[in-house]
């Protein structure tokens, strides 16, 4: 089978303004990397605007919250709206946000149906900081959480695992699944750092597994955290599907944090999760882009991650 890459030109139209780290050039940098001959065998699909996307979002976020975001969006030609100092709505954001969610839904459909081995969703805006009823940290809707709920509702997935290796803790995903034993959430992240959550003692109903790293930690500490905490939790959980919140801002070149991962660490983590998926989940993995703000490091890290998916 094949690896599916899902993206769309609309993701560059989510305009966060000058100087914002979560900028359209992130998509262009990944596009250039994915144009290399090494990725010629990828199956490429456009992220859809689905008729059922708002209903899918409503499995995670309240209808009032969705309506508030929709009402706040500026019209074409109007100035962008800031929901907080970091989180921006431009005239192109609503379409991009719906397609970002739709990409995860399409990936789940294809992987659960056996039409693709795995998938990478090259999307923006990011999602993992979006709590049940709060936009924050560049995020509006929690893309990976919606994908998890969609997999359960539409494909009967009984146990969904979400692994988040973004350098910032996925507080939104943790918030959404805090009391839900059908979803295992495991995260490596720098601590202390925004948003301030992700301590070892935050365990939900025994389904939350945080593995915080200290500023300055590198690949050795990251791999140890994965091997001692994240991977055993996944093996015990035996998921039907693994979702990855794939942020690449733990890279040593990233300007927003202080971890020292390199491309080889992301490649290793990809392989480790694929091995668990092969044992428990029929190989089913859906990866959704989160952070990563140094363009060169982002492109190179995505490249090794996607190559790992293709080699599964």
CA 114, 119, 125, 126 dihedral sign is positive
**pLDDT score, position 8:** 98
The whole-chain average pLDDT of the chain stands at 98
At residue 43 the predicted structure's pLDDT band, cuts being 50, 70 and 90, is very high
Residue 312 is classified by DSSP as -
Which tokens hold the place of 62? 């309240």
Domain boundaries, the chain: 3-310
Q: Which residues contact 113 (CB under 8 A, 6 or more apart)?
A: 155
SS3 199: coil
* N residues, the chain: 312
Task: Report if pTM > 0.75.
Answer: yes
Q: How far is CA 54 from CA 94, 160, 303, in A?
A: 11, 21, 31
At residue 273 the predicted structure's pLDDT band, cuts being 50, 70 and 90, is very high
Could you confirm whether 128 is annotated as catalytic? Answer: no
* Mean pLDDT, residues 253-270: 98
* CA angle, residues 276, 180, 247, in degrees to nearest 5: 50
Q: How far is CA 276 from CA 3, 15, 202, 227, 303, in A?
A: 17, 38, 24, 12, 21
Catalytic-role residue among 129, 168, 251, 305:
129
Nearest Cα residue to 113 out of 172, 157, 64:
157
187 vs 172: CA distance, rounded Å:
12
What is the DSSP track for 94-128? HHHHHHHHHHHHHHHHHHHTTS-SEEEE--SS--T
**Spatial contact of 163 and 234, defined as CB atoms under 8 Å apart:** yes
Residue 1 has pLDDT above 80, yes or no: no
**Alpha helix (H) ranges present in the chain?**
25-34, 53-57, 63-72, 93-112, 143-155, 171-176, 219-225, 231-237, 263-280, 295-310
CB atoms within 10 A of CB 255: 9
Q: Which residues contact 63 (CB under 8 A, 6 or more apart)?
A: none
At residue 5 the predicted structure's pLDDT band, cuts being 50, 70 and 90, is very high
Q: Does domain 3-310 have CATH number 3.40.800.20?
A: yes
Which tokens hold the place of 80? 């962008």
């Amino acid at each position: 089978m094949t690896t599916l890459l899902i993206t769309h030109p609309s993701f560059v139209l989510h305009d966060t303004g000058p100087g914002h780290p979560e900028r359209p050039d992130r998509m262009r940098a990944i596009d250039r990397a994915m144009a290399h001959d090494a990725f010629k065998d990828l199956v490429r699909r456009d992220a859809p605007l689905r008729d059922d996307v708002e209903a899918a979002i409503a499995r995670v976020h309240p209808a009032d919250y969705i309506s508030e975001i929709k009402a706040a969006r500026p019209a074409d030609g109007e100035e962008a709206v800031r929901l907080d100092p970091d989180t921006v709505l431009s005239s192109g954001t609503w379409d991009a946000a719906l397609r970002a969610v739709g990409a995860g839904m399409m990936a789940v459909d294809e992987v659960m149906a056996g039409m693709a081995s795995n998938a990478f969703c090259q999307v923006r805006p990011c999602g993992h900081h979006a709590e049940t009823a709060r936009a924050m940290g560049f995020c509006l809707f929690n893309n990976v959480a919606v994908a998890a709920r969609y997999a359960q509702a539409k494909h009967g997935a009984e146990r969904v695992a979400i692994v988040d290796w973004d350098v910032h803790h996925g507080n939104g995903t943790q918030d959404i699944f805090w009391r839900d034993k059908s979803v295992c959430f495991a995260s490596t992240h720098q601590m202390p750092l925004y948003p301030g959550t992700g301590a070892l003692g935050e365990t939900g109903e025994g389904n939350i597994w945080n593995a915080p790293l200290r500023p300055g930690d590198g690949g050795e500490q990251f791999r140890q955290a994965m091997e001692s905490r994240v991977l055993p939790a996944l093996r015990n959980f035996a998921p039907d599907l693994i979702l990855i919140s794939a942020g690449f801002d733990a890279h040593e070149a990233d300007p927003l944090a202080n971890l020292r991962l390199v491309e080889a660490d992301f490649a290793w983590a990809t392989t480790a999760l694929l091995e668990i998926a092969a044992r428990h989940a029929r190989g089913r993995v859906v990866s959704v882009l989160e952070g990563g703000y140094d363009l060169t490091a982002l492109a190179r890290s995505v490249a090794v991650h996607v190559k790992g998916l293709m080699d599964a």
